[in-house]
Structure 1
Amino acid sequence: MSRGLVSSTPLLVEARAQGYGIVAFNVHTLEMLQAVVEAAESCRAPVIIQTTVGTVKHLGMDYIVAAAQVAARRASVPIALHLDHCQDLTLIQQCIEAGYTSVMIDASKLQFEDNVERTKEVVAYASRRGVNVEAELGKIGGVEDDIVVSDADAMLAVPEECEQFLALTGVPTLAPAIGTAHGIYKGEPNIDFKRIEQIASRVAVPLVLHGGSGIPADQVRRCVALGMAKMNVATELKNAFSLAIQQFFAEHPEELDPRQYMVPAKEAVKRMAIDKINLCGSAGRA
């Protein structure tokens, strides 16, 4: 039995040092959360439960934290709870006080100096409470809740700026824009592997791969090998959950018991989570 939710910082430091990736799964329901934890248990893998700002507003941070804490106490693998892509300092602080063990301050739309100042503020607040902080440099394209970055506005991270940013902020984990996008790719992802290599050679902290849904397996493995110690998976997981419910109703249109249609939805999420955990090499690392 675990002692509850843990900070993701030591988990990710170990992952980067050992050359594997920990998967962070965006969940929107209790069943999705349970399925992710069951997948991590079956794989003996550390895992990060992740929620967007929209999900926090939809479910309530206290409900989310309570469910995640129960899961973590029951589990025998390390589990962290992460707030993804948040621009609101007040909400970040509220989530930390509620029990989140990792937060992302997304000030990537601001000028470099302003991003530094905003990130420093969050790092100072979170580090006193043992909470991991993730920041973004460059602009990752696609849609994440109400944060929309068009292809034209997407901007790749500059390796020299990444090094400078870390020196100025002390942020424990960094999400550099390297050509991935949120959502499902319309075509082949255009990942700049050379850029990842250049950034990883300059900074020692764990790097975060955003937009993990739909990246071909060989490219994921290459990203992880280059230093991406955390991979976010949201859209694929959400789609698997919803499509399983759609299929259930197509086959059983008369069935209205949520306890029936949530079973295949939960199983679909669990299968997807197991696949991603194995892909990133974190199975057996708990």
Structure 2
Amino acid sequence: MTLATTGDLVSAARDAGRGLPAFNVISLEHAEAIAAGAEAAASAAVLQISQNAVKFHGGRVGPLARAAAEVARGSSVPLALHLDHVDDGALLHCAADAGFSSVMFDASALPYEENVKATAEAAEWAHRNGLWFEAELGRVGGKPGDPPLNAHAPGVRTDPGEASAYAAATGVDALAVAVGSSHAMTERSATLDHALIGRLRTAVPVPLVLHGSSGVPDTELSAAVAAGMTKINIGTALNIAFSIAVREALAADPEVVDPRRCLASARDAMAATVTHFTRVVTDG
């Protein structure tokens, strides 16, 4: 199948009132698992490569992006390629040539006016180069290198009025908002502010994005989609499934030295996780 574009998939999901799952890719096995899991759920999905994943691969975005794109092209369901959580201008400017159809530029740590300025400039560049553009307002927290952040602390969550002004000033195509989730959660205990999601959905003309969805229970995710969330980002849940499967494979056979023995189990576990989350956010 032809590589889909993130913008088309998000628009279709929003029009249908369902969520679109977006899963983080760290390795080839992640990409293969996302494709297999999405196929099992008979659903579209987004493969995301973050700036931190690029750093892990020596700062080279091309090899992993090309591998993920090739996996997506071989899938029987529509899959898109997205560059996520970029705050490095040089990496941002690699996005179009690396095969991505979209990018998320993250200036959320900056004061509001600086965030607006940096994001507007990045959005203008992205649109000039044919890229769908996502940004963030509010503080989701939990990103590598960030200080600890309470998702329920005053001033952390996204204000609807400010979000409306931000979207108009920056020209973003989608907005990631802070409504109670946090990145890198290993327990699914987050409680979302569904009333706030509804107000944001009314105030902001572009699709809303939920980051840190791995820590959100199924019922909360379904309710978030019903309240107005469209793109649902999931990363840590795949890594949990991967790590558990590898530990179990090694414990079952301590003498194993062929990495394929462990990676096959890990890939299958991640695929099952992808299928589960995909059904939650697309079926309600």
Unaligned segments of structure 1, at least 5 residues: none
| Counterpart for residue 62 of structure 1 | 62
Q: For 1:186 and 1:153, locate their aligned partners in 2 and report how far apart those are by CA, in whole Å.
A: 23
Q: Work out whether residues 53 and 145 of structure 1, in 8 Å CA contact, stay in contact via their aligned partners in 2.
A: no
The structure whose RCO (Cα within 8 Å, separation 6+) is larger is 1
Q: 1:102 to 1:282 in 2, by over 3 A?
A: farther
Q: 1:24 to 1:187 in 2, by over 3 A?
A: closer
> Residue 145 in 1 paired to residue 141 in 2?
no
1:51 aligns to what SS in structure 2? strand
Q: For 1:156 and 1:65, locate their aligned partners in 2 and report how far apart those are by CA, in whole Å.
A: 32
Q: For 2:26 and 2:69, locate their aligned partners in 1 and report how far apart those are by CA, in whole Å.
A: 16
Q: For 1:108 and 1:181, locate their aligned partners in 2 and report how far apart those are by CA, in whole Å.
A: 14
2:135 aligns to what SS in structure 1? strand
Q: 1:48 to 1:171 in 2, by over 3 A?
A: same
For residues 26-45 of structure 1, the C-alpha deviation after alignment (integer angstroms, 9 at most, x for no partner) is: 12111111010111122221
> Superposition pairs for residues 1-286 of structure 1, below 5 Å?
2-4=1-3, 6-59=4-57, 60-142=60-142, 144-151=143-150, 155-184=156-185, 188-281=189-282
Moved over 3 A (4+): 185-188
Q: CA deviation at 1:203?
A: 1.8
Unaligned segments of structure 2, at least 5 residues: none
Q: CA deviation at 1:187?
A: 7.8
Q: For 1:274 and 1:154, locate their aligned partners in 2 and report how far apart those are by CA, in whole Å.
A: 35
Q: 1:196 to 1:73 in 2, by over 3 A?
A: same
TM-score by length of 1: 0.92
More displaced, 149-158 or 36-45? 149-158
Q: Work out whether residues 49 and 65 of structure 2, in 8 Å CA contact, stay in contact via their aligned partners in 1.
A: no
More displaced, 45-54 or 244-253? 45-54
Q: Supply the AA of the counterpart residue of 1:90.
A: A
Q: Supply the AA of the counterpart residue of 1:145.
A: P
TM-score by length of 2: 0.93
Q: Supply the AA of the counterpart residue of 1:31.
A: E
Q: Work out whether residues 18 and 226 of structure 2, in 8 Å CA contact, stay in contact via their aligned partners in 1.
A: yes
Q: Work out whether residues 182 and 215 of structure 2, in 8 Å CA contact, stay in contact via their aligned partners in 1.
A: no
Identity %: 36
Q: Supply the AA of the counterpart residue of 1:180.
A: S
Q: Work out whether residues 7 and 131 of structure 1, in 8 Å CA contact, stay in contact via their aligned partners in 2.
A: no
Q: Work out whether residues 195 and 227 of structure 2, in 8 Å CA contact, stay in contact via their aligned partners in 1.
A: no
1:108 aligns to what SS in structure 2? coil
Q: 1:153 to 1:54 in 2, by over 3 A?
A: farther
Q: CA deviation at 1:168?
A: 0.9
Q: CA deviation at 1:14?
A: 1.7
Q: CA deviation at 1:126?
A: 1.2
Q: For 1:148 and 1:94, locate their aligned partners in 2 and report how far apart those are by CA, in whole Å.
A: 28
Q: C-alpha root-mean-square deviation of aligned residues, in Å?
A: 1.8
Q: For 1:14 and 1:70, locate their aligned partners in 2 and report how far apart those are by CA, in whole Å.
A: 23
